[in-house]
Chains A and B, each alone.
Chain A
């Protein structure tokens, strides 16, 4: 399958987040979007699950110039704003092993 005449592939954007208690933006991954606004929307949906108070930067991958990086991303917790995301909401008997 060859390249279509009209480009239908969306470019890659890298996503950086700073959480509410974070000190700086952290690279969390990438996504595809047709334009920067879409990239921001998608980053909110995909990487923050629309948690408020998270600052998002999206940068087109082609705009990044990299050297040998220190790739030790700090752990970033995905957020949930819906009650059923909390396992404590579920009654599972204490004696069910491995769960």
Chain B
């Protein structure tokens, strides 16, 4: 290496002046230039609740994905998984912040994430259960991503400009997640006899929680033009899942939906037993030091 070449390398090991160049350019704030006040005619409480729903889905599911870090079947999958978990965490942060803004009570993303109790979380139950193995990880990811991508696809046209911007950014991310998951479901479904059996069992285990994704919520009716009605997503999602399952050589499971509790499910703050443990883990350090800045 000539002295000149070496100088380039040497500079990189020490404190380089142009930090932005060293770590890539072009972090774009999806909310740049967007008016973040609640649009006229939009019910702020309903908007806050809706954003909590979408934000909690991402926050809680990201948590489950994070639990797979250092447990993935190959190192390359670690980077893929971390990307997905980070993307969803990013979506959660934007949505929780939006919820806090709409609510107007001074609660920010951290106050909402760490200091609400179980029955105040509005995620679907699909987001909160543990993956027993890699087949469940990829099967759940396929369903969640396909559903969320369809949802965000509609939200890009939301009358709330913040939701529309969040959705626009999220669509690119979710397309990637869905593709990643679909490729794995096909590999496992059409791999070895063992992987086929595991993928089939995984879908059987997850399927009871699918129906809940398409339930219309009362809040939706209060946000015309702003929220997307989950019931309208079913066709698109079914088509995607049908294509992937066919390529994977897997049948669509025939399982009854997981029952509600007194007519309520995740969207109403009624969760599974696993959820309490999840929140205990997520919130423990923040709650041990209330009022601390991190």
Contact = CB atoms under 8 A, between A and B. Distances in A.
A80 to B, nearest CB: 4
A45 B24 contact: no
Nearest to A6: B192
Given A31-B76, A34-B187, A82-B90, A77 B21 contact: yes
Interface in A1-34: 6, 10, 31-34
Contact of A41 (B29, B74, B180): B180
B54 to A, nearest CB: 20
Chain B interface helix/strand/loop/mixed:
helix
Interface residues of B, number: 29
Interface in B1-42: 5, 8-9, 12, 15, 19-27, 29
Given A32-B76, A45-B80, A50-B83, A85 B23 contact: yes
A83 interface: yes
Contacts of A85: 23-24, 27
Contacts of A77: 21-24
A80 B19 contact: no
B76 A42 contact: yes
A86 B5 CA distance: 25
Contacts of B5: 72
B27 A83 contact: yes
Contacts of B232: none
Nearest to A9: B74
Interface residues of A, number: 30
A77 B8 CA distance: 12
A33 B79 CA distance: 13
Interface in B153-197: 176, 179-180, 183, 187, 192
Contacts of A78: 23-24
B247 interface: no
Interface of A: 6, 10, 31-34, 37-38, 41-42, 45-46, 49-51, 72, 75, 77-83, 85-88, 98-99
Interface of B: 5, 8-9, 12, 15, 19-27, 29, 74-76, 79-80, 83, 86, 90, 176, 179-180, 183, 187, 192
19 contacts: A6-B192, A10-B74, A38-B76, A41-B80, A41-B179, A42-B79, A45-B76, A45-B79, A49-B24, A51-B24, A51-B26, A77-B24, A79-B24, A80-B23, A80-B27, A81-B24, A83-B27, A86-B23, A88-B20
